[in-house]
Amino acid sequence: MAERINGHTELVGLMAYPIRHSSSPAMQNEAFAKLGYDLAYLAFEIGADEIEDAVKAIRTLKMRGSNVSMPNKTIVGQYLDELSPAAELCGAVNTIVNKDGHLTGHITDGIGFMAALKDNNIDAIGKKMTIVGCGGAATAIEIQAALDGVAEMSIFNIKDGFFERGIETVKKINEKTDCRATLYDLADLDQLKKEMDESYLFVNATGAGMHPLEDVSVVPDKSFFRPELIVVDVPYSPLETKMRRMAKEVGCKTMNGLGMMLFQGSAAFELWTGTPMPIEHMKQILNISYDD
Ligand code: NAD
């Protein structure tokens, strides 16, 4: 570190609360060092009542940029100068780029998801996908998949507070992209089976399968899967969810959520540096395997 930090080193931040558990500082600093960028990445505990001042500090300190996470993702946009089309449609920002005091907000979760698919030779462009979820991760994936050219999307969610957000997402996708999106109640299992049978790709983008919902699966049983269906989880702790265990038993190709996590970081890294992360090096260093 003494060799790395000098009078020219620029700062990249991560602004969220809580944030001390994050693996992003280790990941980003490893990639900066590996490619020789004179940048340092630090996490700051910033809550909703401090994010406006923190954004001012990005300009004042001439930081290269910042990541933002909860609770700031949906509120930081109003303090920025510009939003990417995906950030605008999602109503959320996870990456800020500072270009001579002009701050642009991006959302790289969906970019990361699509890049992880590509890295695993999964090509959903022009095809149909079924996805469960209307929360932050799901919305970013749905918007990016639609912008990238997924032809048809069936979205399912339980009838909780997120369902309304799903209605908005479907409206935006149908108005602003060439993708045709439809929202269904996850309780309609006949519809879920029908949409999954017609899909190339199935995605669980909910907290189901992840602590504290380890025992929950968005798909009730194995009969919903066929071997040709590609099945992707967004949760990654535990690495294997109940849902993906069933899909594997049927013979489906599957992917866990670590790919999205790695590639959303790489997309942010590329926005700050102009170069993607050294992906193979990062997979090795972080001991990441997601194509199982
Ligand atoms: P969120 O709180 O914004 O959304 C939660 C979603 O889960 C909603 O759609 C909600 O309806 C659904 N849900 C909650 N309980 C459910 C249940 N019992 N059955 C079915 N659906 C249920 O959360 P988020 O930020 O979108 O995160 C969702 C998951 O994605 C989490 O497991 C999170 O850790 C993971 N995640 C992964 C990455 C990655 O890089 N791989 C990135 C972000 C989030």
Residue 234 CA: nearest ligand 1 atom is: 41
Contact 181, 189 (CB under 8 A): no
pLDDT level of residue 1 (50, 70, 90 thresholds) = low
- Give me the count of residues in the chain: 292
Q: DSSP label at 278?
A: -
Work out the widest C-alpha separation in the chain, in whole angstroms.
Answer: 62
Q: Which ranges constitute the DSSP H helices of 149-232?
A: 163-176, 189-197
Q: Is 260 in the pocket of ligand 1 (CB under 6 A)?
A: yes
Q: What local confidence, expressed as pLDDT, does residue 118 receive?
A: 96
The model's pLDDT over 108-124, given as tens digits with 9 standing for 90+, comes to 999 999 999 999 999 99
Q: Where are the domains of the chain?
A: 10-107+264-286, 110-256
Q: Is 179 in the pocket of ligand 1 (CB under 6 A)?
A: no
Q: Which of 56, 73, 222, 248 is catalytic?
A: 73
Residue 186 CA: nearest ligand 1 atom is: 20
Q: Decide whether 10-107+264-286 matches 110-256 in CATH topology.
A: yes
| pLDDT mean across residues, the chain | 96
CA distances from 215 to 151, 211, 220 (A): 32, 9, 11
For the record, the structure tokens of 188 come out as 């309609």
Separation between Cα atoms, residue 93 and residue 75, nearest integer Å: 8
Q: Is 207 in the pocket of ligand 1 (CB under 6 A)?
A: yes
Q: Is 138 in the pocket of ligand 1 (CB under 6 A)?
A: yes
Q: Is 113 in the pocket of ligand 1 (CB under 6 A)?
A: no
Q: To test the ligand 1 pocket, which listed residue (183, 206, 236) has its Cβ within 8 A of the most ligand atoms?
A: 206
Establish whether 99 is a catalytic residue. no
| Confidence check: pLDDT of 185 > 70 | yes
Contact 186, 157 (CB under 8 A): yes
| Confidence check: pLDDT of 46 > 80 | yes
Pick the CATH number of 110-256 from 3.40.47.10, 3.40.190.90, 3.40.50.920, 3.40.50.720: 3.40.50.720
The residue among 238 and 27 whose pLDDT is bigger is 27
CATH 3.40.50.300 fits 10-107+264-286, yes or no: no
For the record, the structure tokens of 185 come out as 């109640």
pLDDT level of residue 289 (50, 70, 90 thresholds) = confident
CA distances from 47 to 15, 18, 74, 165, 235 (A): 8, 8, 12, 23, 24
Q: Is 264 in the pocket of ligand 1 (CB under 6 A)?
A: yes
Q: How many degrees, rounded to 5, is the angle at CA 176 between CA 173 and CA 180?
A: 40
Q: What local confidence, expressed as pLDDT, does residue 100 receive?
A: 97
Average pLDDT over residues 32-44: 97
pLDDT level of residue 258 (50, 70, 90 thresholds) = very high
Name which residue sits closest to atom 14 of ligand 1, judged by CA: 207
The model's pLDDT over 139-156, given as tens digits with 9 standing for 90+, comes to 999 999 999 999 999 999
Q: Would you give the distance in Å from CA 125 to the centre of its chain?
A: 18
Q: What local confidence, expressed as pLDDT, does residue 286 receive?
A: 85
pLDDT level of residue 103 (50, 70, 90 thresholds) = very high
Task: Return the residue matching tokens 């048809």.
Answer: 152
Contact 100, 73 (CB under 8 A): no
Percent of the chain with pLDDT over 90: 94
For the record, the structure tokens of 50 come out as 């401090």
